[in-house]
Amino acid sequence: MNEFWVILTGALVGITCGLTGVFLILRKTAMIADAISHTVLFGIVMAFMITQSLNGFWMLIGAAAAGILTAYLVQVLQTGGLQEDAAIGVVFTSLFALGVLFITLFAGNVHLDVEHVLMGEIAFVPWDTWIILGVEMPKAVWMLLIVLSLNLLFLFFFYKEIKLSTFDPVFALSIGLPIVAMHYSFMTLVSLTTVATFDSVGAVLVVAMLVGPSATAYLMSKSVSGMIVWSMTFGVTASVTGYYLAKFWNTSISGMMAALVGVLFMLVFLLKPHDGLLWKTVKRVRLNNTKSVV
């Protein structure tokens, strides 16, 4: 039964991150997601410092706030003339360093395990449960279900708006779409997704789950809806397969999931009909051969 919960968690991670990740790729904000995955540490520490409790709920709030703060600070620096990549780099490394410092200063004797934050431990998921509306399930599963619902709701109501503001923000602004509100709403969703996920697979590997399946789907989709479906599929495949392989080789589950994300990407990158690298190379070689025959 415990294994069921672990696999379910992994599958939910794949689905939720696959969904959110699609728009990260399309909006070219993959590295802001990477930044957020580091700064959640800072948010959690701040939540602890303010509430003096390790309650998961406050950590969620703290992490979500850190995510929005990250997006906001990057925006401020960019408006001040700094190029985007450096803005992201400055903000997330500074906040991360601040988070690590605060941990050693104020939470050194509390079990705020930095490694756990970064790498997670999905095997421990079944033991930490929440009871909501009389149903008892692991906390991770609850958080993922809630965040997944929020993502789906957002997409259900604002699908065409997020699509247009991603594709052509200048045009979107010209017909009155609130693109700034969309940006920060989306960043909030990314923060929440990061928080819900990192408890199981750790912050850094959230990025693999957010970016990998959707990048793979990007290579093969002709529509945004198609990309979403493929991305979620790849996400689930990577996490479930990753779990079993990790069990088989007795190694880190989250690390294996991330590795499999990479493997799936490589497979599609190399082998996809017509666009895959190997395909294109074979075509070119065949073309050269026919030329030399003439």
Partner 1 sequence: MNALQIKNLSVAYEDKIVLKDVNISIPVGSLTGIIGPNGAGKSTLIKAILNQLPNKTGTVHILDRPLNPKDLIVGYVPQRNAVDWDFPTNALDVVLMGRYGHIGLMKKPPAKDKQIALDCLKNVGMEAFADRSIGQLSGGQQQRVFLARALAQEAEIYFMDEPFVGVDAATERTIISILKDLKAQGKTVFVVHHDLQTAGDYFDWMILLNKTITAYGPTKQTFTQENLQQAYGGKLFFMDQAKSNDNLVGER
Partner 2 sequence: MLTGNLLWVLVGTILLGVAAGLNGTFSFLQKQSLVGDAAAHAALPGIALAYLVFETKELPILMIGAAITSGLSVYMIQWIVNQSKLKADAAIALVLSVSFGIGIVLISIVNQSTAGNQSGLNDFIFGKAATMAKSDLIWLSGSALLIILMCLLFFKEWKLMIFDPVFAKGIGLPVERLRTLLTALTVLTIVTGIQAVGVILMAAMLIIPAAAARYWSSHLGIILVTSAFFGALSGAFGTMVSSLRIGLSTGPIIVLVAATLFLLSFFFAPTRGLLSKLRKKKEFKQRRVAQEAMSHE
| Sheet strands (E) in 39-185 | 129-132, 135-138
29 makes contact with partner 2 (CB under 8 A): yes
CB of 77 to partner 2, least distance (A): 7
Task: Based on the shown chain and the rule CB under 8 A, indicate whether residue 71 belongs to the binding site for partner 2.
Answer: no
Are 22 and 224 in contact by the 8 Å Cβ rule? The answer is yes
By a kind-dependent CB cut-off of 5 to 8 A, residue 207 interacts, out of partner 2, partner 1, none, with partner 2
Q: Which residues make up the interface to partner 1 (CB under 8 A)?
A: 26, 81, 157-158, 160-161, 163-164, 166-168, 170-177, 218, 221-224, 226-227
Report in angstroms how near the CB of residue 172 gets to partner 1 at its nearest.
8
Count, residues near partner 2 per rule CB under 8 A: 60
Q: Work out how close the CB of 52 gets to partner 2 at its nearest, in angstroms, rounded to a whole number.
A: 20
Residues within window 76-135 making contact with partner 2, judged by CB under 8 A: 77, 80-83, 85-86, 88-90, 93-94, 96-98, 100-101, 104-105, 108, 114-115, 118-119
Residue from 7, 30, 68, 145 in contact with partner 2 (CB under 8 A): 30
How many angstroms separate the CA atoms of 185 and 140, rounded? Answer: 22
**CA 128 – CA 140 distance, rounded (Å):** 8
Nearest to partner 1 of 93, 149 (CB atom): 149
Segment interacting with partner 2 (CB under 8 A) among 58-66, 137-145, 158-166, 247-255: 247-255
Confirm or reject binding of residue 194 to partner 2 (CB under 8 A): no
Other Cβ atoms less than 10 A from the Cβ of 107: the count is 17
Shortest Å distance, C-beta 117 to partner 2: 12
Q: Where are the alpha helices (DSSP H) in 80-125?
A: 84-106, 114-119
Integer CA distances (angstroms), 28 to 21, 22, 225, 250, 265, in order: 10, 10, 18, 36, 18
How far apart, in whole angstroms, are the C-alpha atoms of residue 271 and residue 81? 42
How far apart are alpha carbons 185 and 135 in whole angstroms? 30
Please pick, from the candidates 44, 147, 215, 228, the single residue that binds partner 2 as defined by CB under 8 A: 215
Contacts of 141 (CB under 8 A, 6+ apart): 5, 8, 9, 12, 125
Please choose, out of 123-131, 142-150, 162-170, 262-270, the segment that lies near partner 2 by the rule CB under 8 A: 262-270
Q: Which amino acid is at 5?
A: W
